[in-house]
Chains A and B, each alone.
Chain A
């Protein structure tokens, strides 16, 4: 599934005193099966942007094409769109409501018109893929731990079998193990089922580790669009917008200043280690 945004603008509360233009002339395209990260300071328009991609917000001007079809076409079904584009909000565990975990995960598939058995099969599959153990399928979602709730909520979207999965800070507030688990899950989904993944995150390290491409947003605009190595080379610009580069990149920059001939484009710990080894001639 591909996404194309063509000169998208969006203004909150248009025509009133507290009018805010949240998106300014956004254009980008994302190919089938890409893993794209979106970074940007708080209030830069990331959440607004992703809500456009499944039709929750409608652009004030501009077009969005999913798989080549204009989603603002009069006979384009929003329901179909939301089946294809799965959106996981920030703190998705706040949307759990059913009596049991399994039934909550079934909510999406049932809305797609699947029968009870089919929905339950889907739910089972989704819960398995997020590594939730079978003994908690029949308990109330409110009795789960924080990390389990998060995974159950993500399963609720996965069970709808979206072709594009968009997640707004899915690791916020989780412990390191929980973060790793969710990010690895996304990587597996992306690698094995060729799902297009868009990930909003504040962790530059996660982005360096997982994203194939980065969109950098600042004050409603996309100011950079490229692979993580290139984006993180531009540390000055990123810092100006309230972001940073991965910690290892900072270390390499310091080393370079101290006179070591290291490659400062390394963004992950492994790459950095290699680059230091090479500089030392080991």
Chain B
């Protein structure tokens, strides 16, 4: 089941997008998300669709793989659409029993669905084309100005990358402990809520113990390598902008300008 969630996962392949600087991709995702909220008519959505399609094609990630990540949010999407559809006041389109669907409801529901879908697709593209390490490096670099306000930017970035790195390890550990307890006759599947949550104790206790043990080991290993925070720390692969990154920034600006213009002069 866990394998189905592609949000936050990295997809290994060779593409222009994979090679872009993570800072460009993070900024780009932000601009794309903002543009989705600027867009309110069909023309501007057409621009966003064209842009998203181009990006997906450039990423060389199979579309089916990207869509698989959507499964997890289908329910949220469905609920939003239903609420928008039935609860928006306006001119009645159809009505039955106590429910009525308005023209306005239809429109908002449609736009919300598209907006949410694009939002998830857009941010999935970012994580699918960027390794977690690159992503946190990018974030750290982008958040650097916040240091003025005494925000521990480096520490936050480090915590993020460690947390991301630990996810697969802990999943594997969970699987192992679960199997060990199943071998001792544990039953995780039958009974009511109380019985089931009690059955989790033999799984959770060892999992916590092992998480702490690993954290301890990691801290020790970091200390042994003289880790002392971000001050004066250099990088093996520092982030450097290349010409393609500047091109990407220009494309992003053009895209954003286009969405705004389309919103102004477009129809509907």
Contacts and interface: CB of A to CB of B under 8 A. Distances in A.
Interface of A: 13, 16, 51, 54, 56, 79, 82-83, 86-87, 89, 92, 94-97, 107-108, 111-112, 142, 156-157, 160
Nearest to A18: B3
Contacts of A160: 184-185
Contact of B176 (A83, A89, A111): A89
B55 interface: no
Interface stretch (B99-107, B121-129, B203-211, B253-261): B203-211
B182 interface: yes
23 contacts: A13-B3, A54-B183, A56-B183, A79-B185, A79-B187, A82-B183, A82-B184, A83-B185, A86-B183, A94-B177, A94-B206, A95-B177, A95-B184, A95-B202, A96-B206, A108-B184, A108-B185, A111-B184, A111-B185, A156-B184, A157-B183, A160-B184, A160-B185
Closest 8 CB pairs of A and B: A111-B185, A97-B205, A95-B180, A108-B184, A87-B183, A89-B180, A97-B202, A56-B179
Given A89-B176, A107-B202, A16 B184 contact: no
Interface in B136-177: 176-177
Contacts of B187: 79, 111
Contact of A51 (B177, B179, B185): B179
Given A56-B179, A94-B206, 5 more contacts: A86-B183, A92-B180, A95-B177, A95-B206, A97-B206
B268 interface: no
Contacts of B205: 97
Contacts of A112: 185
B94 interface: no
Nearest to B176: A89
Contacts of B206: 94-97
Contacts of A156: 184
Interface residues of B, number: 18
B49 interface: no
A87 B180 CA distance: 8
B181 interface: yes
B215 interface: no
Nearest to B183: A87
A100 to B, nearest CB: 13
Nearest to A153: B180
Contacts of A97: 201-202, 205-206, 209
B255 to A, nearest CB: 32
A142 B213 CA distance: 12
B181 A95 contact: yes
B182 A56 contact: yes
Interface string B5-45: 00000000000000000000000000000000000000000
A109 B186 CA distance: 10
B188 to A, nearest CB: 12
Contacts of B182: 56, 82
A88 to B, nearest CB: 8
Contacts of A13: 3
A120 B3 CA distance: 41
A160 B3 CA distance: 34
Nearest to A159: B184
A86 B180 CA distance: 10
Contacts of B176: 89, 94
A97 B207 CA distance: 9
